[in-house]
Amino acid sequence: MRPGTTRTTPRRRFIQILLPLAIILALTGTLLQQRVARADASGAYVSSTTWPIVFVHGFNSNSSVDCGSTWNTASSYLQGYHTFGSQTLHWTGPMLKVGFYTNDTNCGYNIKSKAYRCTSYYASNVGTNNESIRHLACELAWYIYDTYSVYGQNVQVVAHSMGGLIIRWAIHGVQARLSAFPPLIYVQDVVTLSTPHGGVPLGSTIFTCGGCTEGNEMQSTNAFMNDTYNYAQDPQGNGWGTDWTMLGGVAFYNLGCDVVSSSEATYMKYGHKSYFTSPCYSHGGYPTDTSDSADARIYWCDGCPVTPSSWTSWSSAPRSLRHMLYALNVSNW
């Protein structure tokens, strides 16, 4: 276990401070570095810096995101050299930034090209913020399947904000065998950065878009969020399964800097939950902190329920991108 002090806190579902989170178990043992090209269907977690990483951005009120601006810092960080116990980690696998808005720029692939695979599933207003998150999830699932899973190749996913809901429903759709989704999907790790897993409060102006579909679907009382809560708890990909890591911070209305609260960012059962109280990350700040300093202050828990009552504090934790690096390499982060 990592160092820290455990405290008990009553939680409410959204809008409360509830400093939730989990920075997960300390590094134990030596990281197995293998050059593995295939998913392990036998039930073993495989640590490898050669896995492809798929980056998924979040919501934009103007239906336009610069994938480079969002992800270049994070991808460059992974390609750098970082001490990990007695080893040095250096990601050599391919990294792909996917977009989904028609006006997205500097993305390696736009998943709306997979819309033909999902014509019978919430298919309308493709490429805009009036496209359903469910349809985006279908497109993403088919992209991962057609590009990687059909060949037995595992991938890791790093998702920001709404992007975390997209990959969550994508894996769920495959696991639940929804007719519009592919037959399997290999996603060994998912790291979500300030994803509103618990939705945002009804009437919230956090995601303003004049009543657009995506903004509405992220409200906590929306049917999509209710279905996510009821049916997509800790969804698992094929093979070994999927290791979930949820990172968040403190919302501005709780005297923090994010627009998503700590409880919203970690509102899914199991997985590894962590939220930062320092640094005070803005909503877009998580993919940009390249410091390897172990000076972050967080609260974390592992394998806990949707609304855990007990969290462990840690005042010398890794910052956001280093935390992401660990999470992509071992199954206890």
Instruction: Report the distance separating Cα 189 and Cα 66, nearest Å.
Output: 24
pLDDT band with cut points at 50, 70 and 90 for residue 40:
low
Domains of the chain: residue spans and CATH: 39-327 (3.40.50)
pLDDT of residue 84: 86
Q: Give per-residue pLDDT as tens, 52-65.
A: 999 999 999 999 99
Task: Calculate ∠ Cα 225-278-323, nearest 5°.
Answer: 70
**117-122 contacts at long range (C-beta below 8 A, 24 or more positions apart):** 117/142, 117/180, 117/182, 118/142, 118/180, 120/179, 120/180, 121/178, 121/180
Q: Which amino acid is at 198?
A: G
The answer, yes or no, to whether residue 188 has pLDDT greater than 60, is: yes
What pLDDT sits at residue 38?
A: 47
Closest to 242 measured CA to CA, from 2, 95, 39: 39
Q: For the whole prediction, is pTM greater than 0.85?
A: yes
3-state secondary structure at position 300: strand
pLDDT of residue 10 exceeding 70: no
**Under 8 Å between Cβ of 64 and 78:** no
What digits encode the pLDDT tens for the residues 49-96?
999 999 999 999 999 999 999 999 999 999 999 998 888 999 999 999
CB atoms within 10 A of CB 168: 26
Q: Which position has the higher pLDDT, 241 or 208?
A: 241
Q: Which two tokens stand for residue 85?
A: 């116990």
For residue 128, give Cα distances in angstroms to 109, 124, 183. 16, 9, 27
Residue 202: pLDDT band by 50, 70, 90 thresholds?
Answer: confident
Is the pLDDT assigned to residue 260 strictly greater than 90?
A: yes
Q: Let me know: does 207 contact 258? Beta carbons within 8 Å.
A: no
Q: Give pLDDT tens digits for 101-142.
A: 999 999 999 999 999 999 999 999 999 999 999 999 999 999
